């Protein structure tokens, strides 16, 4: 059994080696597919990081009228905290708001001077609300609009980041969709090219195949070397793709790091190397074996 | 025992075999004669399931071979050796490897290959040519090598399709003598040929075919008559 497997593997390997030019082209096309797929994963990761970074910055601020009492504000806070969609609520009193404001504009003499001249604190007390999920802000706003303390609320501030998030999401979705379509098209081409290579191998070995059938070679012995050959294209393509991908990633990572400091591309793909590398290998092998299988079904009579 | 019942094969409009009925007993030596296109090769092709009949049955050892599944066909072909006019040898392999190939592709162990291949090469008289490649051998030697390969699975039946077609009289005669020797050991031999001299030398059962039909079946001391 082991001997038979060795023979099948050796025949597959010889088929791969003897077709050197064809094998080179086939492996090349398949490498492109795997690289494109890796590129999609990078895009997915980067856009995911950007969106979640933006989402972290989204919150709802509720500003209360100056005649509202602290008790009323506390009641609103308690109401909000009982909501399942709310992650946490921070109360910022009028005094705190003033301290923050002063600190923020510490360097601005004009503002400091103006503040000093004021008798009364002009700033409003506010509640800062974080939702568990960025999609839930709209419902929190609706909840506030319907609240019995609505009259003491001056304004609800939320809309700013939403547009940016939607924009990033729609761009990344668009690029992702086109990337996916491109990957599919290229994968289809890779399947066709591999299929054709295997077809040529089968054609070149018509005599061997005929004799194998004649002498009662088992179907498995006749077919399996071609499946191995197809799989080998995938394996070599995966090796090349990975060898090209990581240096490329390292290069891009430093550029992206300048734009978005929170995102470490290389860090992500290095720490997930045990998921990423096997995935690329499996994808390559599946593509190769699948193409080979189609060619065998179509051209190899046993 | 081979039973052929009402066997017909139609290619498009052409009737390659037309209601053939035959019974071939174990250990017989049958010469199948007739002009080109008489249906000899079709009949042999049907026996190895290279072809499937349009109608009728071929029963070998009680099994209708049309009922065999894909995975069972190789087992049938190991029970039936075949040789052809064009030898069908692998030019890149030497004599030993050509025979060993038949064992390898059926999953044999190395030990079995090293024991059995020299034995069959000895039977066909090619022991000293084991390392020669087909292009270094004469036509007769190549056909004997093909016979060695056909014998490697110890088949019960040996089908020979025009085995002397590419050989001169002397080499052809050698090959037929070898087939007769194999037959003496108990293998059923079916020899399809249109070589009159060869058939007359063998002088055993002769089945004559014409236009897909069996026109004559001389059970003993048959001669080539058309």
The three-class DSSP label of residue A28 is helix
Within 8 A of B77 by CB-CB distance, chain A residues are 213-216
Q: Which helix (H) or strand (E) holds B118?
A: helix B110-123
Question: Looking at the domain A59-157, which fold is it?
Answer: Alpha-Beta Plaits (3.30.70)
Helix extents (H) in chain A: 2-18, 20-57, 70-81, 94-104, 109-117, 137-145, 160-204, 206-214, 219-259, 265-271, 273-299
Looking at residue A162, what is its pLDDT? 67
Lowest mean pLDDT among A94-108, A221-235, B61-75, B158-172: A94-108
Name the residue facing A208 among B48, B77, B90 (closest C-beta): B90
pTM to 2 decimals? 0.72
Q: pLDDT tens across B159-172, in order?
A: 999 999 989 988 99
Q: Identify the closest residue of chain A to B158 by CA–CA distance.
A: A215
**Which domains are present in chain B?**
28-38+69-218 (3.40.50.300)
Looking at residue A169, what is its pLDDT? 75
Any A CB within 8 A of B112 CB:
no
Within 8 A of B90 by CB-CB distance, chain A residues are 207-208, 211
Cα B38 from Cα B219, distance rounded (Å):
20
Contact B71 A218 (CB under 8 A): yes
More confident residue, B69 or B224: B69
Chain A interface residues facing chain B, Cβ-Cβ under 8 Å? 1, 3-4, 7, 207-208, 210-219, 221-222, 302
Looking at residue A113, what is its pLDDT? 83
Name the residue facing B88 among A210, A217, A221 (closest C-beta): A210
Looking at residue A84, what is its pLDDT? 85
Q: Is the pLDDT of residue A211 over 80?
A: yes
Looking at residue A20, what is its pLDDT? 80
What is the strand order of the sheet B188-193 is part of? B80-84, B157-161, B188-193, B29-33, B205-210, B213-218
Q: pLDDT tens across A11-61, in order?
A: 888 888 887 888 888 899 899 999 988 988 888 888 778 777 777 777 788
Looking at residue A1, what is its pLDDT? 67
Q: pLDDT tens across B145-156, in order?
A: 999 999 999 999
Q: pLDDT tens across A113-166, in order?
A: 888 888 788 888 888 888 877 677 778 888 888 877 788 888 887 755 667 777
Reported ipTM: the value is 0.84
Looking at residue A159, what is its pLDDT? 57
Cα A90 from Cα A73, distance rounded (Å):
11
Domain ranges of chain A: 2-54+164-299, 59-157
Q: ∠ CA(B214), CA(B220), CA(B222), 5° rounding? A: 60
Any A CB within 8 A of B74 CB:
yes
Instruction: Select the residue from A216, A220, A222, A223 to test the B interface by mutation, using most B Cβ atoms within 10 A.
Output: A216
Mean pLDDT, rounded, for A90-95? 86
Looking at residue A161, what is its pLDDT? 62
Within 8 A of A217 by CB-CB distance, chain B residues are 74, 102, 105-106
Q: Identify the closest residue of chain B to A214 by CA–CA distance.
A: B77
> Which of A144-153, A264-273, B198-207 reaches the highest mean pLDDT?
B198-207
Looking at residue A299, what is its pLDDT? 87
Lowest mean pLDDT among A122-131, B15-24, B108-117: A122-131
Instruction: Select the residue from A18, A214, A222, A301 to test the B interface by mutation, using most B Cβ atoms within 10 A.
Output: A214
More confident residue, B158 or A145: B158
- Mean pLDDT, chain A, as a whole number? 85
Within 8 A of B76 by CB-CB distance, chain A residues are 216
Within 8 A of A214 by CB-CB distance, chain B residues are 48, 77, 82, 88
Lowest mean pLDDT among A56-60, A93-97, B137-141, B154-158: A56-60
Asked if A130 contacts A86 with a C-beta cutoff of 8 angstroms, the reply is yes
Mean pLDDT, rounded, for B67-79? 91
């Amino acid at each position: 059994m082991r001997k038979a497997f060795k023979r099948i593997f050796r025949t597959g390997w010889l088929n791969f080696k003897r077709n050197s030019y064809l094998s080179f082209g086939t492996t090349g096309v398949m490498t492109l597919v795997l690289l494109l797929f890796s590129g999609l994963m990078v895009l997915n990761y980067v856009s995911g990081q950007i969106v979640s970074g933006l989402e972290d910055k989204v919150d709802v601020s509720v500003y209360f009228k100056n005649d509202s009492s602290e008790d009323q504000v506390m009641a609103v806070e308690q109401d909000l905290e009982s909501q399942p969609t709310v992650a946490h609520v921070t109360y910022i009193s009028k005094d705190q708001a003033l301290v923050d404001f002063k600190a923020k504009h510490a360097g601005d003499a004009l503002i400091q001077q103006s503040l000093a001249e004021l008798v009364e604190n002009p700033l409003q007390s506010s509640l800062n609300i974080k939702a568990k999920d960025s999609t839930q802000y709209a419902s929190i706003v609706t909840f506030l609009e319907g609240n019995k303390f609505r009259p003491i609320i001056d304004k609800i501030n939320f809309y700013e980041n939403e547009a940016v998030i939607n924009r990033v999401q729609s761009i990344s979705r668009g690029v992702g969709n086109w990337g996916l379509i491109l990957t599919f098209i290229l994968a289809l081409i890779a399947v066709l090219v591999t299929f054709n290579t295997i077809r040529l191998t089968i054609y070149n070995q018509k005599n061997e195949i005929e004799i194998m059938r004649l002498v009662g070679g088992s179907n498995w012995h006749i077919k399996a070397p071609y499946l191995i050959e197809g799989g080998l294209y995938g394996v070599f393509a995966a090796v090349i793709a990975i060898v090209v991908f990581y240096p490329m990633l390292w290069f891009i990572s430093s550029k992206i790091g300048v734009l978005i400091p929170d995102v470490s591309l290389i860090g992500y793909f290095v720490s997930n190397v045990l998921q990423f590398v096997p995935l690329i290998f499996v994808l390559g092998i599946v593509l190769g074996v699948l193409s080979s299988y189609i060619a065998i079904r179509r051209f190899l009579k046993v | 025992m081979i039973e052929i019942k009402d066997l017909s094969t139609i290619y498009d409009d052409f009737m390659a075999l037309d209601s053939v009925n035959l019974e071939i007993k174990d250990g017989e030596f049958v010469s199948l004669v007739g002009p080109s296109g008489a249906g000899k090769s079709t009949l042999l092709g049907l026996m190895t399931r290279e072809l499937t009949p349009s109608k009728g049955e071929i029963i070998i050892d009680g099994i209708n071979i049309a009922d065999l599944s894909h995975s069972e066909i190789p087992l049938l072909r190991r029970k039936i050796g075949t040789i052809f006019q064009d030898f069908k040898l692998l030019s890149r392999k030497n004599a030993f490897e050509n025979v060993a190939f038949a064992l390898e592709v059926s999953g044999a162990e190395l030990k079995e290959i090293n024991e059995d291949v020299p034995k069959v090469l000895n039977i066909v008289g090619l022991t000293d040519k084991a390392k020669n490649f087909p292009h270094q051998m004469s036509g007769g030697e190549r056909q004997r090598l093909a016979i060695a390969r056909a014998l490697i699975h110890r088949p019960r039946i040996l089908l020979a399709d025009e085995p002397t077609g590419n050989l001169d009289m002397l080499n052809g005669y050698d090959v037929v003598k070898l087939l007769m020797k194999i037959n003496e050991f108990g293998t059923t031999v079916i020899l399809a040929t249109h070589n009159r001299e060869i058939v007359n030398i063998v002088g055993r059962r002769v089945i004559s075919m014409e236009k897909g039909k069996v026109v004559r079946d001389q059970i003993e001391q048959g001669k080539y008559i058309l």
